[in-house]
């Protein structure tokens, strides 16, 4: 992997206010910064691989990363899109088990790496950090539960796609350093979206065409806009 020197210091981080981990640890940012190493990671860079022994955690300071898991036949599915403030590899580090997913950068962004030994030591020394870790692990449960619920309860592919698109704008709305917008950069192929919602590329392409005809969404390249949010929400049984 190619690493470059990062520019933003933890004390000046504009993402810390909106996430459970760094927001909980405002008084410990200097210790976290001292224990970690910051780097700028390019788009498509792999942070860690499924099955690897956990070296440590990766705090996503800026940018996004996709988490994927794959079968023995090589078929992969995106389990989650992580955004600024997420701590990647945390469950593996705490449990002492191999990484259960592969993490790949979707955008060029800044990442802070903290080794497993350093993180566990700080958790023992600072109860505040241990609580932040527990909250982060708890938060990761709900997206996994929602994914299983969506895929396992037999909803229509159109509903699953609508829910998928709405979840992207929900993530942007809670990002504390951005103003809310219905326009966003999707950065996923139709095949990757199909893998995420348990469908096929052909079905996703057809559904996008139907959504455009109904003027619910509009797109240009990787830029996608939700032009009728209430119409898209009406397709989803929350």
What tokens does 184 get? 């966003």
Given this model, what pLDDT does residue 177 score? 41
Question: CA nearest 15: which of 4, 5, 25?
Answer: 25
pLDDT in tens, the chain (238 residues): 444 444 566 656 655 545 556 666 666 666 777 777 889 999 999 999 999 999 999 999 888 899 998 888 777 888 888 888 889 999 999 999 999 999 999 989 999 999 999 999 988 888 888 888 888 887 776 666 666 666 666 578 898 898 888 877 765 444 444 434 467 777 788 988 888 887 889 999 999 999 999 999 988 877 888 988 889 889 887 5
Q: Do domains 4-151 and 155-233 have the same CATH topology?
A: no
Closest to 19 in 3D by CA, of 114, 97, 78, 83: 83
Q: What local confidence, expressed as pLDDT, does residue 136 receive?
A: 80
- Class of domain 4-151 as given by CATH: mainly beta
Rg over alpha carbons for the chain, rounded to the nearest Å, is: 18
- Which pLDDT value is given to residue 95? 92
Q: Where are the domains of the chain?
A: 4-151, 155-233
Count CB-CB contacts under 10 A for residue 212.
Answer: 13
CATH pick for 155-233 out of 1.10.645.10, 3.30.470.20, 1.10.10.10, 1.20.1630.10: 1.10.10.10
CA distances 81 to 34, 124, 172, 213, 216, Å, are 28, 30, 12, 27, 23
d(CA 187, CA 21): 26
Tell me what pLDDT residue 130 has. Answer: 84
């Amino acid at each position: 992997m190619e690493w470059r020197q990062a520019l933003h210091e933890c004390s000046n981080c504009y993402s810390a206010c909106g996430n459970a981990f760094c927001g909980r640890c405002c008084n410990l940012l200097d210790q976290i910064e001292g224990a970690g190493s910051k780097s700028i990671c390019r788009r498509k860079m792999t942070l860690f691989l499924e099955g690897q022994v956990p070296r440590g955690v990766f705090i996503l300071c800026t940018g996004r990363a996709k988490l994927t898991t794959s079968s023995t036949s090589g078929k992969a599915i995106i389990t989650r899109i992580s955004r600024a403030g997420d701590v990647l590899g945390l469950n593996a580090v705490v449990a002492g088990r191999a990484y259960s997913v592969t993490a790949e950068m979707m955008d060029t962004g800044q990442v802070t790496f903290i080794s497993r030994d350093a993180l566990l030591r700080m958790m023992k020394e600072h109860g505040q950090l241990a609580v932040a870790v527990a909250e982060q692990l708890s938060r990761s449960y709900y997206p996994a539960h929602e994914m299983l619920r969506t895929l396992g309860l037999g909803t229509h592919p159109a509903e699953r796609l609508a829910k998928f698109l709405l979840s992207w704008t929900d993530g942007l709305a809670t990002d504390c350093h951005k103003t809310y917008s219905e326009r966003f950069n999707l950065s996923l192929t139709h095949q990757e979206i199909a893998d995420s919602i348990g469908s096929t590329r052909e079905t996703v392409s057809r559904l996008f065409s139907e959504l455009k005809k109904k003027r619910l969404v509009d797109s240009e390249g990787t830029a996608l806009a939700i032009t009728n949010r209430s119409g898209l929400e009406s397709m989803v049984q929350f």
